[in-house]
């Protein structure tokens, strides 16, 4: 009886663990590298309840948007997420040549890749960044960015 119980315990454990393994296999380290934050400019803030998001990018990207040019290769956008004033995590988008080719067409978001970094800059391995891409895909008309419209343009009002 004891042995039977043990065996069913093991079976139950295997059933419990399998989805966790499956999830961590789907999560990924991709080509996004954590940027040098000192080189970025904080251009807008989004507040929602206890959440404060500082959104930043490179001076070159700001210049490109201002001049209505495409965002240059090598650009990072970072959303620094604070909860009750404490640093919680960083959401990072990086654009680079060939980044889009890592994904099939349905998932691809131009040449952008996405990553979730914790406050200690380690990757959140429980995140499948397909989720990021799926939501940001709705912004394909604005180079996959939600807040680019907050960057001032030359000669007139912001687009979008
Ligand atoms: C359900 C939709 C949704 C998902 C999923 C999502 N985002 Fe976003 N993201 C937004 C919105 C909306 C904003 C604009 C800021 C705001 O309203 O909080 C934004 C802003 C950003 C920005 C600032 C640049 C910009 O587009 O304005 C970065 C960087 C970013 N997200 C990265 C990520 C990463 C990395 C993930 C996945 C770990 C992710 N996002 C998942 C909706 C989403």
8 A C-beta contact, residue 112 and residue 130? no
Which residue's alpha carbon is at the smallest distance from atom 14 of ligand 1? 146
Quote the mean pLDDT of the chain: 87
Best residue among 132, 143, 158 to mutate for probing ligand 1's pocket (most ligand atoms within 8 Å of CB) is: 132
pLDDT score of 15 more than 50: no
The pLDDT assigned to 120 comes to 98
- Spell out the residues 6+ positions from residue 4 whose beta carbon is closer than 8 angstroms to its own: none
Terminal-residue alpha carbon distance, the chain: 69
Nearest to 137 by CA among 89, 81, 98, 93: 93
pLDDT tens-digit readout, 89-111: 999 999 999 999 999 999 999 99
Percent of the chain with pLDDT over 90: 76
Atom of ligand 1 nearest to the CA of 138: 2
Nearest CA residue ID for atom 5, ligand 1: 132
CB 53 within 8 A of CB 65: no
Task: Spell out which residues line ligand 1, taking CB within 6 angstroms.
Answer: 46, 53, 55, 77-79, 91-93, 114-116, 127, 129, 131-132, 135-136, 145-147
């Amino acid at each position: 009886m004891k042995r039977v119980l043990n065996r069913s315990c093991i079976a139950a454990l295997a059933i419990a663990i399998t989805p966790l393994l499956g999830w961590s296999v789907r999560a990924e380290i991709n080509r996004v590298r954590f940027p040098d934050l000192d080189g970025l400019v904080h251009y807008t803030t989004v507040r929602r309840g206890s959440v404060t998001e500082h959104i930043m990018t490179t001076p070159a990207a700001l210049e490109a948007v201002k001049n209505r040019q495409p965002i240059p290769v090598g650009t990072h956008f970072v959303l620094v997420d604070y909860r009750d004033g404490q640093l919680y995590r960083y959401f990072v988008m990086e654009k680079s040549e060939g980044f889009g080719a890592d994904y099939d067409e349905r998932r691809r978001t131009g040449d952008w890749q996405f990553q979730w970094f914790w406050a200690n800059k380690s990757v959140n391995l429980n995140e499948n960044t397909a989720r990021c891409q799926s939501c940001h895909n709705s912004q394909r008309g604005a180079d996959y960015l939600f807040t680019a419209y907050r960057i001032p343009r030359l000669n007139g009002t912001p687009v979008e």
